[in-house]
Amino acid sequence: MAKVDIDCRYYLKSEKVKGHGKGNEGHPRYRCYDCCKVFQLGS
C-alpha cells in the first residue's frame, strides 16, 4: 500500500498528522499534533 502524506487543513504541514479513528459515516479522521485539531479530508 502506498503512503500518502496528509497535510493539516489548519496548520498546513504534514509532519505530525496521524490517523485518529473514523467519523460517523466511516470516513477516516486525522489529528494534527502541532495544532491539536481533528479533521476529515473533503469535509
- Predicted confidence (pLDDT) per residue in 16-25, tens digit: 999 999 999 9
Asked if residue 28 lies in contact with residue 19, where contact means CB atoms within 8 angstroms, the answer is yes
Mean per-residue pLDDT of the chain? 91
User: How many CB atoms are closer than 10 A to CB 5?
Assistant: 8
Please give the order of strands across the beta sheet that includes 17-22.
17-22, 28-32, 37-40
* CA dist., res. 27 & res. 33, Å (int): 20
How is 8-33 classified by DSSP, letter by letter? PTTT---TTEEEEEE-TTS-EEEEET
Task: Give the residue-averaged pLDDT of 2-27.
Answer: 91
